[in-house]
A = this chain, B = another copy of it.
Amino acid sequence: MAKEKKLVEAITSMEEDFARWYTDVCIKADLIGYTSVKGCMAIKPAGYALWENIQAELDRRFKETGVQNVYMPMFIPESLLQKEKDHVEGFAPEVAWVTHGGLDELQERMCVRPTSETLFCDFYAKDIQSHRDLPRLYNQWCSVVRWEKTTRPFLRSREFLWQEGHTAHATEEEAEERTIQMLNVYASFLEDVLAIPVIKGRKTDKEKFAGAASTYTVEALMHDGKALQSGTSHNFGDGFAKAFGVQYTDKNNQLQYVHQTSWGMTTRVIGALIMVHGDNSGLVLPPRIAPTQAMVIPIRQSAEGVMDKAVEVKAALEAAGIRTALDDSDKSPGWKFSEQEMRGIPVRVELGPKDVAAGQAVLVRRDTREKQIVPIENLAAVTAELLETIQKDLFEKALAHREAHTYDAVTYEEFSEIADTKPGFIRAMWCGEEACENKIKDDLSVTSRCIPGEQVHLADTCICCGKPAKKMVYWGKAY
């Protein structure tokens, strides 16, 4: 048992130091490796397989709504970045600049894209002529660069992977509809596939995307009570169109500006997966996103019939559509259990000589560690059902956690006390003024997370200044 212990002990417990626990899981579950490139990580096979599953699920959902994939250049000439005033102000301080190509200095320096609104606008200005060309519903999968000072795996790194959708529409209404449609795609993806409950809402003007008319967000609560912005959808109105001259002739042969949206989700959601579901034994993956859903672990695998039966069980599970692996390495069973738990594989199938003799296997849930003995002829069916149960239970558990960590405040005193002592979301009324957001941030390190669509009237006055309240807002400390 010494060896198994070691593997588990190597993780800091989340109660002791959540930040260290998080990094430990990233490393010990083999999701990432450090590199010699400051602020950039290597995503290892176990981490990248998660991203591949996320990509496949999201991409399918995008395409169902008519979205097509394209690829734009990774460089943005400085003059192009500067065309939209708010946008360049927001991004210029955090971009990487290319100044030389080969041995020559460039005539105009270019940044590595931090996001591609400018490139899509430049493209659309040439690509769109008539109302027949609309809507344009394009998306790209790529990496982007933002020169962050402090970085953390998945949550904040100088380069990260994402998708960015960019659409152009004839009318304001269509653009708003698409903005909300994609927000809903993100929300249902997070809830149905990643088992992460989200609050959908609009960002305040202070927190919105540089250059957007409005930004919508899905906010999730992590296990430590901090919020994570998990996907955003922006309505640009015709601001970018005017800056870049993206126009079309309408049915009456009049020139009109298009209305645009953009929306993105990043490798950050892998961080959310870790921090919502993980525990002190490591990662806990919802079955729908888990690259491996069941791990078969033979006990006393050299005993007669054990390995044969393990291979047979693996084949039966795979035939039932369950992504299954078999750990036939020469490590001890306990060591294998620890590894399977660290990697968050949703169920383990233990199979020893006694089980083989009895025609049964032991099925262990990763999330609750509950065990059940199952006749081998029922194993595939029981496992398939168990995976569905785990998926549902993980969502319910995360939802209960969020509900238990969502507080309402009516006075600034209440608000301050919650902010200081109770990690979680705080719901409170707001007057709509940025001054109050700034004061709250300065006093309490709490930011407005979103103005939810589902409003609850908690009080008549702003939590901060006491003036008449306009909206109920979710507040919190955020990653």
Residues of A within 8 A of B (CB): 33-37, 40-45, 48-49, 51-52, 68-77, 80, 93-103, 110, 112, 119, 122-123, 126-127, 138, 142-143, 145, 147, 158-159, 161
Contact = CB atoms under 8 A, between A and B. Distances in A.
A80 B36 CA distance: 8
Given A33-B123, A77-B36, A95-B102, A43 B71 contact: yes
16 contacts: A33-B123, A35-B72, A35-B73, A35-B123, A36-B122, A37-B76, A40-B74, A40-B75, A42-B72, A45-B68, A45-B70, A71-B161, A93-B103, A95-B101, A97-B98, A102-B147
Interchain residue pairs A-B with the least CB separation, the first 4: A40-B73, A45-B68, A101-B147, A97-B100
A80 B77 CA distance: 27
A147 B49 CA distance: 32
A147 B98 CA distance: 12
Q: How many copies does the complex hold?
A: 2
A7 B95 CA distance: 43
Nearest to A69: B48
A220 B142 CA distance: 29
Given A48-B68, A101-B147, 9 more contacts: A33-B123, A34-B126, A35-B73, A36-B80, A40-B75, A42-B70, A42-B72, A73-B159, A112-B112
A52 B95 CA distance: 29
B48 A70 contact: yes
Contacts of A76: 37
B96 A42 contact: no
A33 B72 CA distance: 9
Contacts of A122: 35-36
A123 B35 CA distance: 6
Contact of A44 (B37, B70, B96, B103): B70
B100 A96 contact: yes
Contacts of A48: 68-71
